[in-house]
């Protein structure tokens, strides 16, 4: 046939296909979540997240060693405290679980990037992300507590703080508090478009952070809304966020695309626990090829426009990139 355009020419060999990839993935773009339990000594498997672990303060270095062995250079820390109360006071203690974990990691691995989740749900006895006024989270009263948490993390040595509470005005308050305490160089990764999603169940079981009553729909976003994500990102950018985030990832690829196009700031996506657990469950049932599904879903997030990805598969994806399966 007389065909001028034959797209298959660029699919003819593996080397040619790799040469023409439009989406590139890097080891430098992967962030691994680490759960640190203040009451634990050693390592304990997480039942709700097969293949993931809780680490004690005496073993958190093992998680970092595993990351570095795979080529992953960044983590985000989540803490399980020994004590909870109504205002989550252990979240900003000088010797709190996250503060101690940061110091431990930085003492041994000073160049490893440590991001800390800034929220209150893991530390409050009611499981909500802020200070309660009756049965409602008081937005403005919560902000001062979030600022104390962020400053305590920065003082411990965190490279970046990541407020996940979804309180209005939180980025501005954190930026001001960090600057006033001499932490002008501590970056803020804002959970900008965080949806009230059904995909968080395994994380809440792992972190002990499920609300004791009600839900979080009063502060997390409605999954029906797309334009609201742009509004939230614009507010965070104006308040001083250094990185924006969309969470979850897989069901919100359209939102990732729009936010990536609309803003010049780096964009992170969080492939959350439910996304990971679904792949694990389907693979365990023999329904899918776990390796290929893992690679394809991660690739879709970067193709949608994300610059970096928080994922429980970070180490496995890093190995896939090194093997040339993706990237």
Positions marked active-site: 194, 247
**Helices and strands (H and E) in the chain: how many:** 11, 12
Helix (H) or strand (E) holding 146: helix 139-156
- What residues contact residue 163 under an 8 Å CB cut-off, 6+ apart? 118, 119, 146, 150, 170, 171, 174, 188, 190, 191
Crossing angle of the two packed helices 314-322 and 290-304, in degrees rounded to 10: 90
Backbone φ and ψ of 308, nearest 5°: -150, 160
d(CA 199, CA 241) in angstroms, rounded, equals: 25
C-beta of residue 126 within 8 angstroms of C-beta of residue 211: yes
d(CA 79, CA 38) in angstroms, rounded, equals: 8
Q: In sequence order, what DSSP letters do the residues of 242-259 get, joined into one string? A: SEEEEESSGGGHHHHHHH
d(CA 81, CA 127) in angstroms, rounded, equals: 13
Sign of the Cα pseudo-torsion (62, 64, 67, 68, in order) = negative
Sign of the Cα pseudo-torsion (249, 253, 255, 258, in order) = positive
């Amino acid at each position: 046939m007389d065909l001028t355009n034959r797209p298959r020419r660029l699919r003819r060999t593996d080397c040619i296909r790799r040469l023409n990839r439009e989406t590139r993935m890097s080891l430098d773009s992967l962030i691994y979540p680490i759960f640190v339990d203040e009451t634990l000594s050693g390592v304990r498997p997480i039942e709700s997240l097969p293949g993931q672990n809780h680490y004690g303060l005496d073993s958190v270095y093992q998680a970092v060693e595993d990351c570095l062995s795979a080529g992953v250079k960044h983590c985000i820390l989540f803490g399980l405290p020994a004590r909870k109360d109504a205002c989550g006071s252990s979240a900003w203690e000088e010797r709190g679980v996250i503060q101690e974990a940061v110091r431990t990691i930085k003492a041994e691995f000073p160049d490893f990037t440590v991001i800390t989740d800034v929220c209150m749900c893991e530390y409050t006895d009611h499981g909500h992300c802020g200070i309660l006024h009756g049965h409602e989270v008081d937005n403005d009263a919560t902000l001062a507590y979030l600022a104390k948490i962020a400053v305590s993390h920065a003082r411990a040595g965190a490279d970046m703080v990541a407020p996940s509470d979804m309180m209005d005005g939180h980025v501005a308050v954190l930026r001001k508090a960090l600057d006033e305490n001499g932490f002008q160089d501590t970056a803020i990764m804002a959970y900008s478009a965080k949806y009230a999603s059904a995909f968080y169940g395994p994380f809440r079981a792992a972190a002990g952070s499920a609300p004791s009553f009600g839900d979080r729909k009063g502060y997390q976003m409605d999954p029906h809304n797309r334009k609201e994500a742009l509004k939230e990102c614009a507010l965070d950018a104006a308040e001083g966020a250094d990185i924006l985030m969309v969470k979850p990832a897989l069901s919100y690829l359209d939102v990732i695309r729009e936010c990536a196009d609309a803003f010049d700031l780096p964009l992170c996506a969080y492939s959350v626990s439910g996304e990971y657990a679904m792949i694990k469950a389907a693979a365990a049932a023999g329904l899918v090829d776990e390796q290929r599904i893992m690679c394809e879903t991660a690739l879709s997030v970067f193709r949608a426009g994300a610059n970096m990805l928080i994922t429980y598969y970070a180490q496995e994806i890093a190995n896939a990139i090194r093997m040339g399966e993706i990237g």
